[in-house]
Amino acid sequence: SVYDEVEIEDMTYDEALQIYHYPCPCGDRFEISIMDLRDESNDIAVCPSCSLMIRVIFE
């Protein structure tokens, strides 16, 4: 299940890694790559340290 919905403007873009990230409550961060976001079927960012996921909202 999705923990939260976050607007893409609220996420931080890492140009070197080409990923968007956002702080996770566990202390790590949710991550999603720019390539995943371009694939319109994937709007879920996952935290690698815990099982939480967020849906990325972009208009």
Domain ranges of the chain: 4-57
Name the pTM for this structure. Answer: 0.88
Nearest C-alpha neighbor of 45 from the set 33, 26, 32: 32
Nearest C-alpha neighbor of 30 from the set 8, 16, 15, 40: 8
Write down the number of H helices and E strands in the chain: 1, 6
In which residue are the tokens 């939480």 written? 52
Question: In order along the chain (59 residues), what is the average pLDDT of each group of 10 residues?
Answer: 96 98 98 90 94 92
Looking at the structure, give the CATH architecture of the domain made up of residues 4-57: Roll (3.10)
Nearest C-alpha neighbor of 45 from the set 16, 10, 59: 10
Check residue 59 and give its pLDDT: 76
